[in-house]
Structure 1
């Protein structure tokens, strides 16, 4: 069954789909071992891994490379962040094709002006709703494998909740399969979105961001189909690396939380590669 079909089914069941963020081979391998049902390739995480902030500096080529690496380790549907489509509707068309070829089951596009900003930073600007609807139409026309098109609006911070819901409805009319209203600021706003839209809606879990804390049970009660956790791995990695470097700078030679090399390599397929090499290499005298 195609990944997009699997993902569509997961988003239409009663139980919330949780898609942790991954951004490279190691994070994908760890997610695979944990048995996740789906994953989210976050533009913010890929940007951070490249040593860049999430302000529209990452390219479509870098994102496609990250998606392909993730898919080598993770055999579940992947939702992939495509920012603003990396240009106009023509670029958006190419982006969907490129992401499909890399292995994405869903492509997420947003209605910010390029260069975009992280949805939980201030000073965002939007393109007109009808202009973004044209991008959604281009994305729908581009897909060849039933890829889901996720339309994200950042309108709450700029135009308010009512405008955000109006935009979401317009994007559904343009062909979006899934809606993502970024950064609702109150629990009432979080609760109001799914019932107003009419297609599966996902929620962005960003600890320390602009949205209130919500539980899995609350999101299910409100009618959300899924939750993405963009910082699940990159945030944990950053925290652990910060602690390790602090301990080393303080005089330690080894951080107390460092795993041994075998456990690390086993996570990324040591046993499988060793077995393959044993079958392929000639016996040594």
Structure 2
């Protein structure tokens, strides 16, 4: 089954689809290893891990597309990919969709922020007109080659324009043909329940630790009516904290000896990144001789 078709099936399932965020390929492999059915390629984490910069629109489409291709090649589960604003106008969106699809993404998320965009839980975000975003959604739909490739439309209007305007946009984006609606940063459980009651397409919940939306479990979100939930920041926050603690200990003690119990063992790590498969291929194809 194609990954796009599989993702649609998972979204349509009665059980909510949990897609943890991966800021790099290694994290995506861990997500698959643990048993999740999809992975979310986070732009927030990509900007932090690749550039060491915040999610403020500095990363380019080609840098994101390169990450899509690496993630999609490394795991067998569908990759839901952050496409930011589409990196320009509706024509840029068309190229972005084609490049992401070619790279192996099963879905792309497109948002209605002005460029340069910001993380969906930062203050100061501004949105384009609803009409402009509708054109982008229509352009994205026309550009996809695989009809099962999932178009996720996100509105960031809640923070600056209020709940009613954001809900109005969400409904319009659904009518324009978006497969999934991503209503960014609702600020209460009541808002989350209401938007799910009023939208007639699958919805995505964004659980950002320390963000503007209350944190709920996957089961709680399923009961509210969500079809899909992403946890985009947890992996990069955990990695940064663990690395900070490790390096502080190495700096103070001059050894990593006391941190070994916190590390994945050498052989287990090699298994995770596919060394046994490489060895099999070497034995089959790599031949010596003069």
Query: Normalised by the size of structure 1, how large is the TM-score?
Result: 0.96
Equivalent residue, structure 1, for 2:232: 230
The alignment yields a C-alpha RMSD, in angstroms, of: 1.4
Question: Distance in 1 between the 2:22 and 2:176 partners?
Answer: 29
Equivalent residue, structure 2, for 1:37: 37
Query: Residues 23-80 of structure 1: CA distance to partner in whole angstroms, max 9, x if unpaired?
Result: 3221122122112101100111111111121000111111111111111221111110
Question: Distance in 1 between the 2:268 and 2:167 partners?
Answer: 47
1:284, distance to aligned residue in structure 2 (A): 7.5
1:251 to 231, 247, 253: 253
Question: Distance in 2 between the 1:283 and 1:142 partners?
Answer: 48
User: 8 Å contact 1:22–1:233 — kept in the other structure?
Assistant: yes
1:246, distance to aligned residue in structure 2 (A): 1.6
Unpaired runs of at least 5, structure 2: none
User: 8 Å contact 2:40–2:232 — kept in the other structure?
Assistant: yes
Higher deviation after alignment, 240-249 or 99-108? 240-249
Tell whether 2:267 aligns with 1:262: yes
Question: Distance in 2 between the 1:228 and 1:216 partners?
Answer: 9
Query: Residues 206-254 of structure 1: CA distance to partner in whole angstroms, max 9, x if unpaired?
Result: 1111111212222111110010111232222112111111211222410
Question: Distance in 2 between the 1:221 and 1:90 partners?
Answer: 38
Aligned to 1:113, the other structure's residue is in SS state: coil
1:184, distance to aligned residue in structure 2 (A): 0.8
User: 8 Å contact 1:149–1:178 — kept in the other structure?
Assistant: yes
User: 8 Å contact 1:154–1:183 — kept in the other structure?
Assistant: yes
Aligned to 1:233, the other structure's residue is in SS state: helix
Equivalent residue, structure 2, for 1:132: 133
User: 8 Å contact 1:31–1:74 — kept in the other structure?
Assistant: no
Query: Normalised by the size of structure 2, how large is the TM-score?
Result: 0.95
1:2, distance to aligned residue in structure 2 (A): 2.1
Aligned to 2:99, the other structure's residue is in SS state: helix
1:192, distance to aligned residue in structure 2 (A): 1.3
Equivalent residue, structure 2, for 1:103: 104
User: 8 Å contact 1:178–1:201 — kept in the other structure?
Assistant: yes
Question: Distance in 2 between the 1:233 and 1:213 partners?
Answer: 16
User: 8 Å contact 2:113–2:155 — kept in the other structure?
Assistant: yes
Aligned to 2:204, the other structure's residue is in SS state: strand
Equivalent residue, structure 2, for 1:80: 81
Question: Distance in 1 between the 2:4 and 2:144 partners?
Answer: 11
1:118, distance to aligned residue in structure 2 (A): 0.3
Equivalent residue, structure 2, for 1:113: 114
Unpaired runs of at least 5, structure 1: none
Tell whether 2:21 aligns with 1:16: no
